[in-house]
Amino acid sequence: MLEMRGIHKRFGAVVALNDASLSVNEGEILALAGSNGSGKSTMIKVLAGLVAPNSGKIFFDGKEVAIHSGTDSVKEGIATAFQDLSLIPTMSVQDNILLGCEPKKNGFVDEKKARKIVLELLEKFHIDCDPDDYVQTLMPSTQSMLEVAKAVYRKPKILLLDEVTASLHYDEIETLFGIMRELKAEGVSMIYVTHRMNEIFQICDTITIMRSSNTVISGKVSDFSLDDIVYYMTGARPEHSDTVAEKAEDFADRELVVDVKDLAIAPKVKDISMKAYKGEIVGIGGLEGQGQSEVIRAILGAVKPEGGSIDYLGKKTKFKAPADGVKAGIGFISGERNVEAMFPIRPISENIFAGNSAKNRMFKFLTKKEVRKFSQDAVDKYNIKIGKLKDPASSLSGGNQQKLVVARWIAMKPNLLLLDDPTKGVDIHSRQEIHDIIRECAANGMTVIISASDTEELMNISERIYVFYEGKVAAMLAGPEKTQERLVSAMMGINENKKEELAE
Ligand SMILES: Nc1ncnc2c1ncn2[C@@H]1O[C@H](COP(=O)(O)OP(=O)(O)OP(=O)(O)O)[C@@H](O)[C@H]1O
Ligand SMILES: [Mg+2]
């Protein structure tokens, strides 16, 4: 039904697409997979009319079509949920959803109908907010759901979904998949970009894999194994090294780095106690919004708790602002890089170096050459795909921006590293590399606290996992207790009688 053939796109010296092709049939869900920077979002943007290819053709039902603008794309029945959301933060939920497609009566917006449509969509997507809420006040995951709801409202024949689940949690993904199955039954075609491999097997019929700007293979998902997919993405067979060393659970002789006691932060955090020892990687699991982000930000000094205490290196913390936490050797990486971590219009080199200058105040004594070398080393070590170091950070693909933020903080060698969904949008291969680097740092004495929306990632990286449920610790999983099943059921609040196992 839809076919893209031989698409080329250059951004200056960077070749984003080189002879890329794909096709999708009616009522089919096509997975578009590939490493960070391989060209997935650019393909999506070509279809959405935001990127003009240098050459290549697009066909609809065998007929060539021209997509030169967003309007052309909409005319062909395409709607898009973008990776870097298209919502306008300072506008209300209702205005964002309806933007440009308001229901009309006698030439005026039909307010009553508009309200009804929006309420129905919010209910369908299980989005818990008011139509009049400003988008900027909503959680990142809620914003992602809205981005999809907005696209679905446009009743597309073809729906493009670019990493929409990156900041969604377990329950939200279930809701989304339910809606996708409904649309599929109605004959809607979808192109689905994701780095979460299990989703490909769960929801997609066919797959096209990209590697360095090219589409290297297409076929039925059922004809591929996970190893096959990684192979086509990277050109190498994956090594099987996901055996996490089950370290002894005896912490008696280890230095206690973080000791959170009876923490309360209204409204989400009710009563959280947790510990992290020197050189340990501690996970925080749970569905969206069970207090994970708040606790992490409280340790950093960005959020003020109402009750309880936080000890860091044996002393009560009195951080007034995150900068105090950073001065005390605490690093913080968040998946919300646009809001919390990046300077999009500054060069890549400065973005990598920024953390170090904040800590050491030595930026001004360094030559450009030194900054460049420092940044180039990080680019090499983390495999960040860039054009030039002096390009703005916003020119990087989503996953490469995230790798840049990770590189910056780890380069600061913090004593305690706080990670709030750090590998959001990072491809499976780079994620392994980041995990390896985090493990190496932990082995050298860095303490790590990581919250992740992806349960597999959490299982893989953490030695112990505190599972949050309704603002309390529902379970602490360690050693043989740490299984995917226990994690998921604790996330749903199913396992209440595990409290006695909380390590003291
Ligand atoms: N506006 C732009 N200016 C310069 N370079 C760009 C621009 N947009 C994309 N690129 C480059 O094109 C390449 C492909 O980027 P794209 O965003 O399509 O990757 P992706 O496969 O979506 O990656 P990710 O998984 O990280 O989102 C990258 O090297 C990126 O830096
Ligand atoms: Mg992308």
Residue whose CB lies within 8 A of the most ligand 1 atoms, among 11, 45, 429, for a mutation test: 11
Per DSSP bridges, beta strands 2-11 and 55-60 are: antiparallel
Q: Are 251 and 229 in contact (CB under 8 A)?
A: no
Nearest CA to ligand 1 atom 31: 396
Ligand 2 centroid vs 358 CA: distance in angstroms?
A: 29
The pLDDT-based confidence of 85 (bands split at 50, 70, 90) is confident
- Ligand 1 atom nearest the C-alpha of 35 is 25
Ligand 1 centroid vs 398 CA: distance in angstroms?
A: 7
The per-residue pLDDT for 403 is 83
- Ligand 1 atom nearest the C-alpha of 83 is 27
The per-residue pLDDT for 192 is 97
- Least Cα distance to 440 among 467, 398, 402, 410 occurs for 410
pLDDT tens digits, 223-259: 999 888 888 988 877 655 444 444 445 566 789 999 9
Ligand 2 centroid vs 278 CA: distance in angstroms?
A: 36
Nearest CA to ligand 1 atom 6: 395
The per-residue pLDDT for 252 is 64
Average pLDDT in the 47-58 region? 95
The per-residue pLDDT for 244 is 43
Domain boundaries, the chain: 2-234, 335-413+422-448
| From 339-348, 384-393, 477-486, the region with the lowest mean pLDDT | 339-348
The closest ligand to the CA of 36 turns out to be 1
Higher-confidence residue of 364 and 291: namely 291
The per-residue pLDDT for 239 is 58
| From 79-93, 317-331, 482-496, the region with the lowest mean pLDDT | 482-496
The per-residue pLDDT for 362 is 41
| From 142-151, 234-243, 259-268, 356-365, the region with the lowest mean pLDDT | 356-365
The per-residue pLDDT for 155 is 94
- Ligand 1 atom nearest the C-alpha of 396 is 31
pLDDT higher than 90, residue 72: yes
Ligand 2 centroid vs 6 CA: distance in angstroms?
A: 19
Ligand 2 centroid vs 448 CA: distance in angstroms?
A: 28
The per-residue pLDDT for 238 is 60
> Quick one: DSSP state of residue 74?
H
Average pLDDT in the 59-64 region? 93
pLDDT higher than 70, residue 134: yes
The per-residue pLDDT for 79 is 96
Residue whose CB lies within 8 A of the most ligand 1 atoms, among 42, 44, 212, 405, for a mutation test: 42
Average pLDDT in the 70-78 region? 93
Ligand 2 centroid vs 259 CA: distance in angstroms?
A: 38
Q: Compute CA 461 distance to the chain's CA centroid, rounded to the nearest angstrom.
A: 17
The closest ligand to the CA of 52 turns out to be 1
Q: Which residues contact 309 (CB under 8 A, 6 or more apart)?
A: 260, 261, 262, 263, 316
Q: Are 285 and 467 in contact (CB under 8 A)?
A: yes
The Cβ of residue 171 has, within 10 Å, a number of other Cβ atoms equal to 14
Nearest CA to ligand 1 atom 19: 37
Ligand 2 centroid vs 386 CA: distance in angstroms?
A: 14
Superfamily of domain 335-413+422-448: P-loop containing nucleotide triphosphate hydrolases (3.40.50.300)
Average pLDDT in the 388-407 region? 83
pLDDT tens digits, 411-466: 778 999 999 888 877 888 888 888 988 998 999 999 999 998 788 889 999 999 99
| From 86-100, 322-336, 445-459, the region with the lowest mean pLDDT | 322-336
Q: Assign domain 2-234 to a CATH class.
A: alpha beta
- Ligand 1 atom nearest the C-alpha of 34 is 21
- Ligand 1 atom nearest the C-alpha of 12 is 4
- Ligand 1 atom nearest the C-alpha of 391 is 4
The pLDDT-based confidence of 351 (bands split at 50, 70, 90) is low
Nearest CA to ligand 1 atom 25: 36
The closest ligand to the CA of 42 turns out to be 1
pLDDT higher than 70, residue 371: yes
Helix (H, G, I), strand (E, B) or coil at 127: coil
Nearest CA to ligand 1 atom 5: 395
The per-residue pLDDT for 365 is 54
The per-residue pLDDT for 437 is 86
The pLDDT-based confidence of 42 (bands split at 50, 70, 90) is very high
d(C-alpha 474, C-alpha 494), whole Å:
9
- Ligand 1 atom nearest the C-alpha of 42 is 18
Strand partners, 416: 330, 447
Average pLDDT in the 361-368 region? 54
- Least Cα distance to 283 among 478, 415, 494, 443 occurs for 478
d(C-alpha 140, C-alpha 421), whole Å:
12
Ligand 1 centroid vs 421 CA: distance in angstroms?
A: 21
- Least Cα distance to 465 among 269, 254, 245, 455 occurs for 455
The closest ligand to the CA of 13 turns out to be 1
Q: Are 40 and 92 in contact (CB under 8 A)?
A: no
The per-residue pLDDT for 494 is 67
Average pLDDT in the 65-87 region? 92
The per-residue pLDDT for 251 is 62
Do the two domains 2-234 and 335-413+422-448 of this chain adopt the same fold? yes
Which residues are near ligand 1 (CB < 6 Å)?
11, 14, 16, 34, 36-42, 83, 385, 387, 395-400, 425, 427
Average pLDDT in the 35-48 region? 93
d(C-alpha 436, C-alpha 253), whole Å:
25
Ligand 1 centroid vs 42 CA: distance in angstroms?
A: 6
Ligand 1 centroid vs 84 CA: distance in angstroms?
A: 12
pLDDT tens digits, 442-455: 999 999 999 987 88
Ligand 2 centroid vs 195 CA: distance in angstroms?
A: 10
Residue 72 burial (C-beta neighbours within 10 Å; 0-12, 13-18, 19+): middle
